[in-house]
Amino acid sequence: MNKKLNLLQVYRGVAAVLVVLTHGNIILSREMHQGDLLQIFHFGWIGVDFFFVLSGFIIFYIHQSDIGKANKFKSFIFKRFIRVYPLYWSILSIKILASLFNTNKDNIYQRSADEIIKAVLLLPQNHSILESSFIGVSWTLSYEVFFYCIFALLILKNTRISQSIIFAWIIGIFLNLLNLLPIDESFLLRFIFNERNLEFVLGCLAAYTISKYQFKFATSLIYASLFLLVVSVINTKYKEFDVSGIPPSLAYGIPFTLLIIGSVYLELSKTVNIPQILIYIGNASYSIYLTHGFFLGNISKVFTKFTDKVNILYLFPNPNIYYNVNAFLIVILAVVMGCVIHSYLEKPLITNLRKKVFTQIS
C-alpha cells in the first residue's frame, strides 16, 4: 500500500468502540442490573462486519501482486501469523491465569483438551464455549484465519484448480445465504460457507475495483454508503442480528464496501487531515477488541462493590442516572486499557517479532 489510508484506521477504531459499546450493554446489564442508555448502541455488533470487509480489502490491496508467486507464501504466512496470534496468545494466557481465581462452572479447566486446542489455534468452535471459558470475540478470528488460508492458496498456486475451489466456495456461500445448501447438521460446513465469509469477498472486490478503475465522486459514494448504513441501523431491532430479515452480510457488508471504496478514492486524490488520537485508537483497535470483555466485566464488578459499600445511590434522585454514567465511564476505561495494552504489549511484541522473523526469512 503506497499511501497510508488513515480514514480506514479511523473506521477501524470506530468499529472497535461500537463492539465495546454493544458488549458493554450486555455485560453491564448483567453485572450492575441497571442502566439502559447503552441500549442505544445495540447494533454495535456491526463493527465485526466492518472488520471482515476491511480485512478482505487490506489483504487483496496489499498482496494482489503476490498472487501466483509461491516465493511470497512464507512471508505472507509469517505476516498474518504475527499480526493475529502473539497478542491473542498473550491475552488468552492472562485469561487462563485469571481463571485460577474463578470458581464458575464454566471455568477453563472444565474444558476438554480438544476445546482448549481449538481455542489456542483459533480453529472453528461453538461461540458459547469461547464466551464462557476463553475470549468471546475469538470466534471472529477463526474466520480471519480461514480467509488468510484461502488467500494463501492463491499465492501458493494460482492455478485453475485453486481458482475453481475458491469459486465453488463463493457459490456455496451464496447458496447457504439463500438456504439452498443442506449443511445444517455440519458445524464445519456451516463455518466454511457462513454468510460472514461473503464480507471478505466484498472487501477483495473493493480492492480490485480501486486497483482497476477511477472514480471521481468519492464524497458522493461515502454519503451514499452512510445513508445505507443509517437505514440498516434504523431497521435493526434490539437483540436481533439481521436487518428486518436481511442478512447483515448484505445489509451492512455492501454499505461498508462502498464506504471503503469512497474513502480510499478520497484519500488517494487529496490529503485528509485527521486528528492523531483517532488514528491512534484505530491502531489500537485489535488490542481494544481482544481485551474489552475482560476489562468491562472486571471494572464493572469493582464499581458494583464500591456502590454497595459506599451506598452512593441515595445522592441521585434516579438510580438509572448513576448507572448510566457509570456505564459510560466503564466503557471509556475499557477502551483506555485496550490502548495501554496496544502501546506497552502489542506494539513492542509485534515490532520485535517482525525484526527477528523477517531477518531469518529474508
DSSP string, 109-167: GGS-HHHHHHHHHT----HHHHHHHS-TTHHHHHHHHHHHHHHHHHHH--SHHHHHHHH
pLDDT of 171 reads 97
Type of residue at 46: I
C-alpha cell at 77: 504466512
| Separation of alpha carbons 137 and 26, rounded Å | 14
**Amino acid 328: pLDDT:** 92
Question: Cβ distance 120 to 133 under 8 Å?
Answer: no
Integer Cα distance of 263 and 213 in angstroms: 14
CA distance 192 to 171: 12
Integer Cα distance of 202 and 193 in angstroms: 15
H and E: helices and strands count for the chain: 16, 0
Nearest-angstrom CA–CA distance, 149 and 84: 13
pLDDT of residue 9: 96
Helix 276-283 to helix 6-32 angle, to the nearest 10 degrees? 70
What residues in the chain have per-residue pLDDT under 50?
Answer: 1
What string of DSSP letters covers 164-231?
Answer: HHHHHHHHHHHHHHTT-S--TT-HHHHHHT-TTHHHHHHHHHHHHHHHH---S-HHHHHHHHHHHHHH
Q: State pTM to two decimals.
A: 0.94
Cell representation of residue 187: 458445524
Strand partners, 246: 243
